[in-house]
Amino acid sequence: MTVNELHHKFPAAADYLTQIFLIERDYREVSNLRLSERLGVSKPAVSQSVKRLVKLGLAKQESYGGIQLTEEGRRIAREVLERHYLLEHVLVDMLGYPWEKSDREAKDLQVIISDELKAHLDQKLGHPRTCPHGNPFPGAEREQELINAPRLIQALVGSRVELLRITEEGEEIEGLLDFCFRHQLTPGSRLLIHARNSEGLEVSINREPTTFFIPLEYAQHFCYRDIAAS
């Protein structure tokens, strides 16, 4: 079954499959509650949709157990994510569309482009291996390195760090990408952690003298690596 065929049968399937894939990639376990929170729908709605995925042979779930994708479900989830990330690059890199808005637009387009167009975009873009927000394509060489990178909330005061990605979960938080854009918090940005309190982190970016505050709610969705003090 192609992504386009599945979309005609079950329009919400792509969202469910990709979110199950992403939750499993970040957290290993996929529960109805976490999926409900990620998608912003009720638990009964999740239960019904997961049952439909099971009937389609795309997912499996034992009574009251975690949700798992079948081989076919995982294949389609990966395909949709690849389309999504490529479309984000088209919007940002080729069309100059705002970085902080590209995720929403790509979601509307990811299920309607053809496999042929997807292959053309991949070639035209030079085969990118992360999305503009730093999340790795499924199966990318650095996938596990980026997924397992520590969250900024763990960074020590006085440390210098480089941002690697904004999690897919973080991208869904209202206002987070706008905050990133205002403060130039993108993959590759370098931060100095000046202070920490119960509300968040005081940081400066790219050796600028001014500091600003990153709320903990946001900091837990930024992945980083430590860099030398020099």
For residue 229, pLDDT over 90 is answered with no
Mean model confidence pLDDT for the chain: 93
Query: For residue 217, is pLDDT > 50?
Result: yes
Q: Average pLDDT, stretch 102-131?
A: 94
Q: pTM for the whole thing? A: 0.91
Domain ranges of the chain: 3-72, 79-140, 149-226
> Which architecture characterizes domain 79-140 according to CATH?
Orthogonal Bundle (1.10)
41-87 pLDDT per residue, tens: 999 999 999 999 999 999 999 877 899 999 999 999 999 999 999 99
pLDDT more than 90, % of the chain: 89
Q: Which CATH architecture has domain 149-226?
A: Roll (2.30)
- Architecture field, domain 3-72: Orthogonal Bundle (1.10)
Q: Measured between alpha carbons, how far is 72 from 19 in angstroms, rounded to an integer?
A: 15
Which pLDDT tens digit goes with each residue over 147-172?
Answer: 999 999 999 999 999 999 999 999 99
The confidence score (pLDDT) of residue 109 equals 93
